[in-house]
Structure formats: structure tokens, C-alpha cells
Amino acid sequence: MPQSRVTIRDVAKHAGVSHQTVSRVINNSQHVAPKTRKKVQASIVELDYRPNAIARSMALGRTCLLACLAPNLTDFTFASLVEGAEVEARKHGYFLISSSAPTPDILQHLLNELIDSRRVSGLIVINPYVDERYSYLPENFPLVFIGSHAREPGISSVTLDDELAGYLAVQHLLSLGHRDIAMVTGVMIEDCAQKRCIGFEKALKEAGITHTASQVIQGDWSATSGRDAFMALTETGKVPSAIFAQNDRMAIGVMQSARDMGISVPEQLSVIGLDDLPLASYFAPPLTTIRQDIIKIGSKAAQLLIANIEEPSHPTHRLTINPELIVRKSTAPFNHQKEEPIELSHNQI
């Protein structure tokens, strides 16, 4: 029944007014007599009229559509950013297209497609600089970055305070008496990985610890890379007493690898991650981690974007969201008696 092909002119005819008057009623214009308004509203209800959003976009030149581009949509962090942005967008009457851009080519293509075709009126890009993801950035187009701050002027951005996050993680380990602390990093071309390293180093430096490069191993955010990193670490012969993994997935990989080698967490090895995945407390042992409020980051990004769309002179912002330490069971005070080298040659599982 409501196969609503009713247009504004049908309503006008039905109410005995001009289509423009109907438009005024829809848009709550002041210049409509109360009597007329009632009449038109009655017709709208009777005919079950709904304004056509496309026609509206066309006339106004605004689409009330945003897009969010992420490397993928399934990683918990990306999915949460999208959800945060989506919920916020809807509060303001916008919808959100989400699109996965796993490669620079695809990202570039999507940027062109979405912007040049004027399909969306604003864009959120997650992890914008990975792989030099694009060569061409539109000018004067509302754009917000998540995950790293814009090098270009005029682009707002929202990130976790990654430096602080790294700092807090290491500080927690230091406070437990650990001195021999290793780190598994994310992909180092990403700003957030670099910032987390800076925080790591800053905390160690403040504690008067000079760490050697061998204690920093590069991962790729995956649990597998956490496993590999820990195995590489043990092959060097000197196993640290604590490890900061730059995300939870890698931390979990480290824990599994340690378990396989018969190294017990946290008695012999403290592990701290970053993210606070929903299941973080269900691993064995429950994972100590640095929590980031991902929903908030996505939501703030959408806010900034919409402000920029609706008021182009809106000043650009670079927000950082504060991390929070969540202590569970994968970290423990440094145990001096275990200072003897750990026997690794046999699988003790």
C-alpha cells in the first residue's frame, strides 16, 4: 500500500495549495498560516507522503550522507570506529556508508568515486597514511582522519593518545619492578605504532633504563605476529621479564607462544596489551591492557566532520582521546628468584 510515489505536487493538489506551500510546511517555514498548515498536514497524512531524499539532495546540493573508509570492516577496532561514527551521524540526520579499502589503489579509487560524484558530503578516513595510501587529496572537502593527525592543513583528526598509551603500559610494568621490558610493535609505518614506541622509550628513559634495539620486535598487529615475535625473542637467548604488545591480538599471540614453551604468565613473564578487546578478560590469564574508547573516537570524528560540513569555517581540531590502564592477571610483580635463565630446550607442556 504505501508504495509511496506521492510527490509534493500531489499533496499540493489534494490540499488546494501550491507545491511551494507544501514545501514550506515540510520545512517548518514561519510564513504559513496555521489554517493552511493544518490542511496541508492533513493531506500529507492522508496521502502518506514522504519527501524524496534524493530530490532534496539534488536541490540543496547536500546529501546527508557520510562515508567511512577503513582497511577492513571486521577488525574490532575498525568496526567499533564505524559504529561510533554511525550512531553519532544518525543523531544529526546523516547516514553512513562504510567501505573497506584494503589497498592504496582501492582507497584512491573510493576517494575519487565518492567525492567527485558528490555522493557524500563528508568523509572519515581511518589510518590515512598507511602505505602512502593516496596521492591525491581533494581540496575544500570535509574530511576527518582517525588514527593519525593530518599533515595537511585544514583537516581535523581524532586519535588515541598513543604516546601516553605506550607510556602507561610501560609505567605499569616498571611499577611492578620489571626492568627488562620488551615490546612488540605494530606496523611501523603507521603513526600510532610510532607514537606508542615514543611512549615506551620515554617511560624507560625516565626510569633510567637504556634498552637495546633487540628488545623491540616488529609485528603486524596479528596474533600470529605476536607468536612469531616472542619466538624470535627467545631465540636471542635473553627472555625479558615483561612484554608490552602494541595491541591485544599480538599480546595474545605472545601469551600462547609462552604457554607453548612452558613459560608461565604472569609468574615468569608479564604481558600487557592495548585495546581491551571484548574477550580480553577471557584469555588465560585474563589480559592486562590499555583500554581505548574506540566508540568515542568514532563518534568524535563524526561530530567534527558534521560541524565542518554544516559550517565550512569551523576550525580544524586535533583531538586525542585518553587511554586507561586495565589491570587483570597477565601482569605480576617481578619475581627475583626466577632470575636464572629459563630452560627452553624442552617443551614442558
Partner DNA sequence: CCTTTTAATGTTACCGGTAACAATATTGTA
Partner DNA sequence: TACAATATTGTTACCGGTAACATTAAAAGG
Rounded to the nearest 5 degrees, what angle is found at the Cα of 44, between the Cα atoms of 43 and 49? 135
- Minimum Å gap between C-beta 150 and a second copy is 19
Helices (H), the chain: 8-15, 19-26, 34-47, 53-60, 76-91, 104-116, 162-175, 191-206, 223-235, 248-260, 294-310
- Are residues 171 and 203 in contact, defined by beta-carbon separation less than 8 angstroms? yes
Q: Does the protein bind DNA through residue 103 (CB under 7 A)?
A: no
Structure-block grid coordinates of residue 59: 536541490
- Are residues 291 and 275 in contact, defined by beta-carbon separation less than 8 angstroms? yes
Q: Scan residues 47-76 and list those touching DNA (CB under 7 A).
A: 49-52, 55-56, 58-61
**Rounded CA gap, 75 and 189, in Å?**
19
Q: Does the protein bind a second copy through residue 140 (CB under 8 A)?
A: yes
Structure-block grid coordinates of residue 209: 633504563
**Rounded CA gap, 258 and 269, in Å?**
8
Q: Of 9, 50, 91, 205, which lies in the binding site for a second copy, with binding defined by CB under 8 A?
A: 50
Q: Of 128, 253, 266, 273, which lies in the binding site for a second copy, with binding defined by CB under 8 A?
A: 253
Residue 140 binding: pick among DNA, a second copy, none (C-beta 5-8 Å cut-off by kind): a second copy
**Rounded CA gap, 247 and 183, in Å?**
11
Q: Does the protein bind DNA through residue 112 (CB under 7 A)?
A: no
Q: Nearer to DNA by C-beta: 63 or 159?
A: 63
Residue 16 binding: pick among a second copy, DNA, none (C-beta 5-8 Å cut-off by kind): DNA
Stretch near a second copy under the rule CB under 8 A, chosen from 32-40, 93-101, 209-217, 231-239: 93-101
Q: Treating both helix axes as pointing N-terminal to C-terminal, what angle do 191-206 and 162-175 enclose, rounded to 10 degrees? A: 40
What letter does residue 132 receive in the DSSP assignment? G
Q: Does the protein bind a second copy through residue 252 (CB under 8 A)?
A: yes
What are the angstrom distances between the C-alpha of 55 and each of 46, 52, 140, 181? Answer: 22, 6, 24, 60
Q: Does the protein bind DNA through residue 119 (CB under 7 A)?
A: no
* Strands, sheet with 216-218, edge to edge from the N-terminal-most edge strand: 216-218, 181-185, 242-245, 270-275, 288-291, 324-326
Q: Does the protein bind a second copy through residue 262 (CB under 8 A)?
A: no
Q: Does the protein bind a second copy through residue 154 (CB under 8 A)?
A: no
Q: Nearer to a second copy by C-beta: 36 or 224?
A: 224
Q: Does the protein bind a second copy through residue 57 (CB under 8 A)?
A: yes
Q: Nearer to DNA by C-beta: 50 or 151?
A: 50
Residue 33 binding: pick among a second copy, DNA, none (C-beta 5-8 Å cut-off by kind): DNA
Q: Of 3, 28, 31, 337, which lies in the binding site for DNA, with binding defined by CB under 7 A?
A: 31
Q: Does the protein bind DNA through residue 93 (CB under 7 A)?
A: no
Stretch near DNA under the rule CB under 7 A, chosen from 33-41, 76-84, 134-142, 265-273: 33-41
Which residue has cell 570535509? 142
Instruction: Tell me if residue 239 falls in helix, strand or coil.
Output: coil
Question: Which residues bind to DNA, rule: CB under 7 A?
Answer: 5, 7-9, 16-21, 23-24, 26-27, 30-33, 35-37, 49-52, 55-56, 58-61
Q: Binding residues for a second copy, per CB under 8 A? A: 1-4, 50-55, 57-58, 63, 65, 67, 72-74, 76, 79-80, 82-83, 86-87, 90, 95-100, 112, 114, 116-119, 138-140, 223, 249, 252-253, 256, 259, 277-279, 282-284
